Structure 1
Amino acid sequence: MLLQLNIQNFAIVRSLEIDWQAGMTTITGETGAGKSIAIDALGLCLGDRATTNVVRPHCKKAELTANFDTKDNTIAQQWLQTHDLDLEGESHCILRRVISAEGRSKAYINGSQVPLAQLKEVGQLLINIHGQHDHQLIVKASHQCQLLDGYAKHQVLLDDVKHYAQQYKKLTKELELLQQNKQQREAKQQLLQYQVTELDEFNLQENEFTTLEADYKRHSNAQDLLDTTLSTLQSLSENENFNIIDTLRHCNDNISALARVDNQLESVAALLNESLIQLDEANDELKHYYQQVELDPESYNMIEERYSSALQLAKKHQLSPDALVGFHQELKQELTNISNDESRIDTVIEELEKVKGFYFDAASALSHSRQQAATSLSELISHSMQELNMPHGQFNIAVSNQKTTKGANKELISINGVDEINFQVSINPGQALEAMHKVASGGELSRISLAMQVILADKVVTPTLIFDEVDVGISGPTAAMVGKKLQQLAKNTQVICVTHLPQVACKGHQQLFVSKLTDGEHTETSVTELSKQSRVQEIARLLAGDKISQHSLANAKELLAG
């Protein structure tokens, strides 16, 4: 429930702190005093859009703080815990809004700055505000559907219908996109098929180009390799007149002999011996290599042809030859994906039919629930209308299944189901039920709206309900019944009601009086909690106006005693 509201520099309020009680609180005051200013401030705490004119003139900012007790509100407590915004060991939810004179706004929950959307989220769990213009909404089909669903409390059915409607919409978009791109895919598929076939036929393997390039270089330089190798072998060992190995061996023998005489030559002898061993090994390997090298024109032609083809393919696709194998795999995968897209069209069509079946099953269950709720709510509102000075009033909620009335072949996939909701009313005896906006006057609409709000408010889980001048256009015995209904509602819920009716004001467990003070230059609004005696004076003023008589005072006492 709402515990406290603190308002600083808001509109014509300089500083105001209001403590709220459980049960029913009524707010009264003179015309133009700003009776709804606390409701407006609460609205901003709950995330309403802020404008620059909400800041008191000549002030830098307005600051609004609402303190709620969430001890018995487990849903709000869970929300705060989920978002890490709860106060450890405390059951409070403090909403704060700071609005600068330039229109900039900051929002806080329990001292932590949050996006405005989070104020709205948690606000819906704390307060439900019914405004004086709600009766203008009840003639709209969309609002009528919301009211009926709110009474029926079949959120699971609504979620099912919404889920399948969204699935159907998603699949429909996918099918449209697949069909729109079909011609482009076919052209792309032809090109890919040609490219993949060409690369399949060439069939270059992983790392093959590196080997191919080495083979090509070797075969293209085979004669030079043979000539140079033979010449080198001649120099190393084959020339009988002079060769390097024989000369080095002779040197090695001489120095080795000298090293036996003078050990200072041992290191030189070792180096010469090691060099001789290495030259012998190099000579042997070179002989082996020479014997392996062949002049094979046929092999060379085959290697040259494949090597050239690889270079041409790489140039054609604007890549390096080493990237051809990876590119080949990418093209094959893209071709597979396009083929899958074609088969996906058939799959999506099948899925659409399945989802459509699930949707209409869910919509049918929702329709059945709405029919049941419509019967019950129609009876309750009819009875309430009769209590609110419409003795012959009859109310009916017509739920028509558009799939039945407009044909099963017509696509009627909507997140709200397939029902058309129409609030019908009859005010006078013998009058046929017709749409509300055709037969009900403004005052009658206000009473019907109030009847609905009181009935539906009993279904709402929020612990605080605010009625902001919803009793406009009501008077006399009807006003007394309205007050009685609101008081009954306040047995289980905190009710705050801005009113101009004494019959409603007197039913409050707490009454606040709003007044406007001015010194000719500055204007301020103040809110005062009325004592028992002050309440008598205020109820008498509401009854008689500014000229309070003994008779009006007596009537006021009688109303408060009742």
Structure 2
Amino acid sequence: MLCQLSVTNYAIVRFLELEFRAGMTTITGETGAGKSIAIDALGLCLGNRADAASVRPGADKAEVSARFSLSDVPLAKRWLEDNDLELDDECILRRTVAADGRSRAYINGNPVPITQLKLLGALLIGIHGQHAHHALLRADQQLVLLDSYAGHQLLLDAVVKSYHNLRHAEQQLRELEQTAQERQARRQLLSYQVEELNDFDLGEQEFVELENEHKRLANSTALAECLQASMLMLSEDDEANIESLLNRVISMADELVSYDDKLSSVNTMLNEALIQVQESRSELQHYADNLEMDPEYFAQLESRLSKVMQLSRKHHVTPNELYQHHQSLLAELNSLDSNDEMVEALQAQVQQYQEAYQQAAQKLSSSRQRYAKVLDKLVTESIRELNMPKAKFTIEVNFNEQTMSLHGSDSVDFKVSTNPGQPLDSLSKVASGGELSRIGLGIQVITSQKVATPTLIFDEVDVGISGPTAAVVGRMLRQLGSTTQVMCVTHLPQVAGNGHQQMFVAKQSKGGMTETSMVPLNREQRIEELARLLGGDTITSNTLANARELLAE
């Protein structure tokens, strides 16, 4: 619950520090005194929009902080833990607004984005404004109120999850189906290209091998001449060859070693050189013996190389890249075939998600219809107490399987009959302004009892209500305050008198500056304030007696 609110340099508030207790707290004051200013300031701590106008004239910044007890708010504790913010039995929300309009937000002293203030604030406080009953005319708000009362969050989550799954699968399917014609055209082209390349069947390293073989055969004459000359120089020339010369040097080396064995290594190297020359000559002879020029084979080789060049130009790749290009086209063709299989799989998946959504939406609708009947009875009883003795209220829940949304397949219509013999019809068509405010207040009080928010604020929700009806409203809010912290800004003495405690708002002007203050009232001060609300500025013994009676009740 809200324990303390501190406000500095906000609007016409210079400084305000308020302590709050459990139960129902009523806030009263003269018209224009700024009874709602503390609630507006609190709204800053809950993430409401801030601007430079929030700062008191002449001040550098406005600052608002709110301290909450979390002893009975497990959802808020879990949220703080999930967001790695300091967790204790208390929580402090703080907001500053500079004179230039820039604002900063803090949770337990940690700087946070405004969105986090909003998320945590929604778990701590619920605010009902004086025009909240007008929202009852909107179908979407009626649905929210019914769901809030029903509290079937798991059913709502199941619908949301099914809806997202369905829409995601439909989007994937739509994208594939939209490109089906393009894929078919691409498949035809790829099929022709891949078939041609499959028929040619170029190996991964074949082009390099073809090039080398072609170069060898194209230069076979030069090869033969060079081979013959090399072998002559190595051993076959009668006049001089390397082998005979090495033999002569080896003979001289043998003689040198006989004179000095330190030269034995030279002798060894010369003998090894002779062996290398003899082996080189043998290799060249072997190569020469196998060097053949087959014109038919050479023609086949040239033809295949020519085909490689032709296909490379056709596919705009180099000959070295043709093999890999072939593999890429083949992979793309297989991918297009798998896309067709994916279309079929997605179609089946969409069907499954549609069925899952329908089941989730149907369960949610059944729950809504069940709780709608309970709420029908409670609201009818409530508004009959609020000086509408013959009224009847009902919630119509219509399920339409053709409708799919994040909120299910239901349309909800709040209907009322305010007079005997009058048929039930939508609120917007039947209820007057005063009736609508009473119906709205009754619904707010009833639904608030089911919501886990520990603090509820009612900001002049009793506008348009007076007399005995106001007394009923006061008793309703007091009863709600027995289980939930309730704060109520009101101008009705019947409502103010029902508070467990009361605060008074006053506005003073001094030195050309206006300042608003808010103070708690003791019993005698409450009697005087209630008397003022009952009789105006002139307080008589009768109004004081009436005030005492209100407070006693």
TM-score band by shorter chain is: over 0.9
Tell whether 2:489 aligns with 1:491. Answer: no
The two structures have a TM-score, normalised by structure 1, of 0.93
After TM superposition, list the pairs within 5 Å mapping 1:45-60 onto structure 2: 45-60=45-60
Gaps (5+ residues) in structure 2? none
Alignment partner, residue 20 of structure 1: 20
Q: Deviations over 1:303-355 (max 9, x none)?
A: 33223322332333333333333322222222222223334444433433333
Cα distance in 1 between the residues matched to 2:326 and 2:8: 72
Tell whether 2:503 aligns with 1:512. Answer: yes
Gaps (5+ residues) in structure 1? 404-410
Q: Structure 1 residue 388: deviation in Å?
A: 0.9
Cα distance in 1 between the residues matched to 2:118 and 2:49: 10
Q: 1:14 to 1:316 in 2, by over 3 A?
A: farther
Q: Structure 1 residue 300: deviation in Å?
A: 2.5
After TM superposition, list the pairs within 5 Å mapping 1:285-296 onto structure 2: 285-296=283-294
Deviates most, 256-265 or 506-515: 256-265
Q: Structure 1 residue 437: deviation in Å?
A: 1.3
Alignment partner, residue 147 of structure 1: 145
Cα distance in 2 between the residues matched to 1:49 and 1:11: 14
Q: Deviations over 1:131-170 (max 9, x none)?
A: 1111110011111111111112222222233333333333
Tell whether 2:384 aligns with 1:412. Answer: no
Q: Structure 1 residue 295: deviation in Å?
A: 1.9
Q: 1:240 to 1:179 in 2, by over 3 A?
A: same
Root-mean-square deviation over aligned CA pairs: 2.0
Tell whether 2:212 aligns with 1:214. Answer: yes
- Check the 8 A contact 1:471/1:479 in 2, yes or no: yes
Match of 2:545 among 541, 546, 554: 554
After TM superposition, list the pairs within 5 Å mapping 1:14-413 onto structure 2: 14-87=14-87, 90-263=88-261, 265-403=263-401, 411-413=402-404
Q: Structure 1 residue 486: deviation in Å?
A: 1.0
Deviates most, 107-116 or 139-148: 107-116
1:321 aligned partner, one-letter code: P
Q: Structure 1 residue 270: deviation in Å?
A: 4.1
Q: Structure 1 residue 283: deviation in Å?
A: 2.5
What secondary structure is seen at the aligned counterpart in 2 of 1:437? Answer: helix
Q: 1:341 to 1:387 in 2, by over 3 A?
A: same
Cα distance in 1 between the residues matched to 2:461 and 2:476: 13
Cα distance in 2 between the residues matched to 1:339 and 1:425: 60
1:193 aligned partner, one-letter code: S
Cα distance in 2 between the residues matched to 1:358 and 1:303: 64
Cα distance in 2 between the residues matched to 1:509 and 1:248: 125
Cα distance in 2 between the residues matched to 1:347 and 1:27: 63
Q: 1:387 to 1:320 in 2, by over 3 A?
A: same
What secondary structure is seen at the aligned counterpart in 2 of 1:374? Answer: helix
Q: 1:14 to 1:219 in 2, by over 3 A?
A: farther
Q: Structure 1 residue 267: deviation in Å?
A: 4.8
Q: 1:350 to 1:262 in 2, by over 3 A?
A: closer
1:239 aligned partner, one-letter code: D
Cα distance in 1 between the residues matched to 2:460 and 2:331: 68
* Number of corresponding residues: 553
Tell whether 2:492 aligns with 1:501. Answer: yes
Q: 1:108 to 1:329 in 2, by over 3 A?
A: farther
The two structures have a TM-score, normalised by structure 2, of 0.95
User: In percent, how many aligned pairs have the same letter?
Assistant: 50
- Check the 8 A contact 1:77/1:86 in 2, yes or no: no
Cα distance in 2 between the residues matched to 1:27 and 1:326: 81
Cα distance in 1 between the residues matched to 2:294 and 2:512: 113
Cα distance in 2 between the residues matched to 1:33 and 1:358: 56
Cα distance in 1 between the residues matched to 2:337 and 2:67: 62
Q: Structure 1 residue 444: deviation in Å?
A: 1.1
What secondary structure is seen at the aligned counterpart in 2 of 1:77? Answer: helix
